[in-house]
Chain A
């Protein structure tokens, strides 16, 4: 991609965040309050009411939710982005990957705030920073690529099937429970668990917990496999967006 489009992506991301901040009284405080409220809800339901009595449940839940919400918001915002910009696309010629990329970057900035908050909470709980923190860099990078890949694929399809936007939230909700975010997949029979582990998020969230809670290095082979899958899907998503770009402009609004 030309340097010029990179400038457009970066400035649009800034514009997106800035506009979002201006749309409410509390502004960017919502980037922290909203996910914190979401986490509190899950904590209330699963830790207090249902007494999911596993050890270390609170940090387990918070790490899972933090990594999950980044993926989820990237996919749901990025997935709608091309469809939402059809009016603009009719006016000017742009590489359409710009739109999902902007949404994903904006969500990544918000994720950075939440990650900071999460680390503070974990330290308060007694989970100290450790040398395996370095492994967060590849884990988060892989999650970024995987999020972008799924967002690109959804974004490529949404202009043809706008109905997808009603489905996507529900599907994401189901995927969340299958990704071991709120409860551990250990309780699932091993034969079945193999299938669950095909989901890259399971590996990414496990790796996050290993690092942040147990000071364990992630399973590099599994992470490498997820990285390859993510890159392959990312390439496919990019190809599909480019391939169908000429057709989006001819669709009805």
Chain B
């Protein structure tokens, strides 16, 4: 595909499994071919440990391939990460600014969005309190609200579609789906077929660090399940 904004060819990524001289490297990705067209909503399916998350981090530009080639146009890619770089002793406001800067926003841009973050996270006066005093739910709400302020060209999502308690799950799920369907290019990793079918317009199947198939959602899921061992297919 020539209209791809990111294209991987025979990409492999190796990790150092241990801190020891001469320790063997572990290939989390062996051989991946992938083309991500602009505006596509690509689902990534595969078993645990197949290399799906590693693939996302290659797309995000965090991991460089150890072999193969990657071609990317000038696009910003961002992994949807909640509570990135949060410091416990800082207020919600300061953490929002810090996290936003790490996610690539300018200071001015974040400050313009602080009001929106405050409103979406429903933190009220707690916004000025240290996040160490937050409940888990409050922490997640702030993290999600900050993460949603970043508008990358390619949004990378690892399993998370909604966060927080029941109430906030509806709200965060709706906000994320709205973002996904606003024309952004999306790469979405999930174990849930239903979610992949709902969100994605194409899919890729990764098995043991290799890309087995890329194409229409229905066909890829069918092939993936046909190849699954009976025990797993039943799940």
Contact with A along B1-28 (1 / 0, CB 8 A): 0000000000001111111000000000
Which one, A16-24, A111-119, A146-154, A200-208, is touching chain B? A16-24
Q: Is A7 an interface residue (CB 8 A)?
A: yes
Is B103 close to A, CB under 8 A? yes
A214 at the interface (CB under 8 A from B): no
B residues 34-93 in Cβ contact with A at 8 Å = 57, 60-64, 79, 81, 84-85, 87-90
Using a CB-CB cutoff of 8 Å, which residues 127-182 of chain A contact chain B? Answer: 162
Count B interface residues, CB 8 Å: 31
With a cutoff of 8 Å between Cβ atoms, the chain A residues found around residue B16 in the complex are: 250-252
B84/A251 in contact, CB under 8 A:
no
Whether A18 contacts B14 in the complex (CB less than 8 A), given A8-B102, A11-B101, comes out as no
**Given A18-B90, A252-B17, A252-B19, A90-B57 contact (CB < 8 Å):** yes
Q: A4-B104, A7-B106, A90-B62 are in contact. Are A19 and B87 (CB under 8 A)?
A: yes
Inter-subunit contact A18/B94 (CB<8 Å)? yes
Given A18-B94, A19-B89, A22-B89, answer yes or no on A11-B107 (Cβ-Cβ < 8 Å).
yes
B200 located at the interface, meaning its Cβ lies under 8 Å from any Cβ of chain A in the complex: no
Bound-state Cα–Cα, A19 to B16, Å:
33
Q: How far is the CB of B190 from chain A (nearest CB, A)?
A: 19
Nearest A-chain residue to B103, judged by Cβ: A92
CA distance A25 to B64 in the complex (A): 45
Which residues of A1-57 have CB atoms within 8 Å of chain B's CB atoms?
3-4, 7-8, 11-12, 15, 18-19, 22-23
Q: Answer whether residue B130 sits at the interface, using C-beta atoms and an 8 A cutoff.
A: yes
Give every chain A residue within 8 A of B89 (Cβ-Cβ): 18-19, 22-23
Report A35-92 residues with CB < 8 Å from chain B CB.
Answer: 88-92
- Give the interface size bracket for A toward B: 20 to 34
- Tell me, yes or no, whether B98 is within 8 Å of chain A by CB: yes
B130 touches A22 (CB 8 A): yes
Contact pick for A92, options B15, B62, B94, B97, CB 8 Å: B62
A101 to B9, CA, bound (A): 37
Once bound together, how far apart are the Cα atoms of A249 and B63, in whole Å?
7
Chain B: CB-nearest residue to A3:
B106
In the bound complex, residues from chain B placing their C-beta under 8 Å from that of A251 are 15-16, 19
Tell whether, in the assembled complex, residue A11 and residue B84 are in contact, meaning their CB atoms are under 8 Å apart.
Answer: no
CB neighbours of A92 from chain B (8 A): 62, 79, 81, 84-85, 102-103
Are B15 and A93 interface neighbours, CB within 8 A?
Answer: no
CB pair B19 A15 closer than 8 Å = no
Q: Which of A12, A15, A90 has the most CB of B within 10 A?
A: A15
Which residues of B have CB within 8 Å of A162? 19
Known: A22-B130, A249-B62. A15 touches B90 (CB 8 A): yes
Given that A90-B62, A91-B79 are contacting pairs, would A11 and B97 also be in contact in the complex, using a CB cutoff of 8 Å? Answer: yes
A91-B98 CB under 8 A given contacts A15-B87, A19-B90: no
By a CB distance below 8 angstroms, the chain A residues around B104 are: 4
A246 within 8 A of B: yes
- Interface residue? A94 (CB, 8 A): yes
Question: Is B101 touching A7 in the complex (CB atoms < 8 A)?
Answer: yes
- Shortest Cβ distance from B76 into A: residue: A93
Are B14 and A250 in touch, CB under 8 angstroms? yes
Whether A91 and B62, one on each chain, are in contact in the complex, defined by CB atoms closer than 8 angstroms, is yes
Q: A15-B94, A251-B16, A252-B15 are in contact. Are A4 and B106 (CB under 8 A)?
A: yes
Supposing A4-B106, A15-B94 touch, asked if A252 and B18 sit within 8 A by C-beta, the answer is yes
Write out the residue numbers on chain A whose beta carbons fall within 8 Å of the beta carbon of B17. 252
Q: Across the interface, which residues of A come within 8 angstroms of B85, CB to CB?
A: 88, 92
- Give B113 Cβ to nearest chain A Cβ, in Å: 15
CA distance A8 to B84 in the complex (A): 13
Query: Could you list 29 examples of A-B contacts with CB < 8 Å?
Result: A7-B106, A11-B101, A12-B101, A15-B90, A18-B89, A18-B90, A18-B94, A19-B87, A19-B89, A22-B130, A88-B84, A88-B85, A88-B102, A90-B62, A91-B62, A91-B79, A92-B81, A92-B85, A93-B60, A162-B19, A246-B63, A246-B64, A249-B63, A250-B13, A250-B16, A251-B16, A252-B15, A252-B17, A252-B18
Q: Could you tell me which A residues sit within 8 Å of B by CB distance? A: 3-4, 7-8, 11-12, 15, 18-19, 22-23, 88-94, 162, 246, 249-252
Other than A18-B90, A91-B84, A251-B19, give 16 A-B pairs with Cβ distance below 8 A.
A3-B106, A7-B101, A7-B106, A8-B102, A11-B101, A11-B107, A15-B98, A22-B89, A88-B85, A91-B62, A92-B81, A92-B85, A249-B63, A251-B15, A251-B16, A252-B19
